[in-house]
């Protein structure tokens, strides 16, 4: 197995305690891999203008970490791109501050890439803190599967073999290794040449949707994205974003609309109209069943009309 260096990039924004835990677990994985292979693993933490003292704590507690302290939150895309431009190693690992590695994670992903040189980007399995399975990728958005997702019938139609949904939710999909169309930005292990050729995330996206947008360009450039079921990490899912469900959902919808405006401009109006209709129906439905949810969907609808 080749001795390949890695640069690990971790974004942090007001998640001091979670980021500390992430770095501690990352250090164990780093030490294990370096001892086994004799390689070098550099860690860059991009602190996006945190107000909780995260940057200072990291500098004081973990002097082996390279900290990029920004004056403001530039967003997921810009923050990661900024760090990736500094990379000189053959491999890059992007993780969120709420993604926790196991001791052998870095060693195993390098081994997987070494044994499969045709793979350019690798995704591992995700588990929640309670050990439960978490979906982490799927098929690229298109007007049909996006509209069906808005109406929440995409998974039903996938289960009977009619469509390919954007996020695939079923455990059976992730039970074996497979090529993917897009993977979650919470863990992306890639060859540096992927970034060099595609220039990274679209910086017009602040948060949500940047992972599948970049994966589309990665696929279009001829690179292969692979998922492996043999390696897993813990993902707290949402702990690094501090977003309430309504705010998060609005950002997801904004990401879908931007994606279609960029790649399917002919259908952008239809996709947006379907979004408004689906939210209107949910608002009416939950007005009868659940007033709290109805208020949330009403607010989401109001914000979506501004998109």
Instruction: Tell me the pLDDT of the chain averaged across its residues.
Output: 93
pLDDT at 299: 80
pLDDT at 238: 64
Choice between 288 and 128, residue whose per-residue pLDDT is larger? 128
pTM: 0.93
Identify the structural domains of the chain with CATH numbers, from first to last. 6-135+170-235 (3.90.550.10), 140-164+243-307 (no CATH)
Query: Parallel, antiparallel, or unpaired: how do β-strands 121-127 and 91-96 relate?
Result: unpaired
Residue 173: pLDDT over 80: yes
pLDDT at 222: 98
pLDDT at 8: 99
Question: pLDDT tens across 215-236, in order?
Answer: 999 999 999 999 999 999 999 9
Residue 241: pLDDT over 70: no
pLDDT at 246: 64
- Mean pLDDT over 268-283 rounds to 93
Chain position carrying tokens 């692979």: 226
pLDDT at 245: 56
% the chain with pLDDT above 90: 83
Choice between 242 and 68, residue whose per-residue pLDDT is larger? 68
């Amino acid at each position: 197995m080749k001795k390949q260096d890695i640069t690990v990039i971790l974004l942090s924004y007001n998640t001091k305690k979670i980021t500390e835990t992430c770095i501690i677990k990352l250090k164990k994985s780093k030490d294990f891999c370096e001892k086994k292979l004799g390689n070098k693993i550099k860690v860059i933490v991009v602190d996006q203008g945190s107000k909780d003292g995260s940057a200072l704590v990291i500098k004081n507690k973990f002097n082996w970490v390279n900290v990029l302290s920004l004056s403001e939150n530039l967003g997921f895309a810009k923050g990661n791109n900024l760090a990736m431009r500094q990379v000189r190693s053959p491999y890059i690992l992007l993780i969120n501050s709420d993604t926790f590695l196991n001791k052998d994670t870095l060693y195993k992903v390098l081994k997987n890439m070494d044994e499969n040189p045709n793979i350019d980007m690798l995704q591992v399995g995700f588990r929640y803190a309670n050990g439960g399975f978490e979906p982490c990728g799927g098929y690229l958005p298109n007007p049909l599967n996006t509209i069906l997702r808005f109406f929440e019938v995409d998974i039903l139609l996938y289960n009977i073999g009619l469509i390919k949904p954007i996020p695939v939710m079923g455990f059976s999909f992730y039970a074996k290794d497979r090529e993917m169309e897009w993977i979650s930005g919470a863990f992306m292990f890639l060859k540096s040449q992927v970034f060099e050729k595609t220039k990274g995330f679209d910086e017009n996206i602040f948060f949500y949707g940047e992972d599948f947008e970049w994966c589309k360009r990665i696929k279009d450039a001829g690179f292969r994205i692979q998922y492996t079921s043999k390696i897993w990490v813990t993902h707290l899912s949402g702990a690094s974003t501090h977003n309430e469900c309504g705010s998060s959902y609005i950002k997801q919808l904004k990401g879908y609309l931007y994606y279609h405006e960029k790649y399917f401009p002919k259908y952008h109006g239809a996709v947006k109209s379907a979004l408004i209709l689906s939210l209107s129906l949910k608002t009416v439905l939950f007005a009868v069943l659940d007033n709290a949810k109805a208020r949330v969907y009403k607010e989401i609808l109001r914000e979506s009309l501004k998109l």
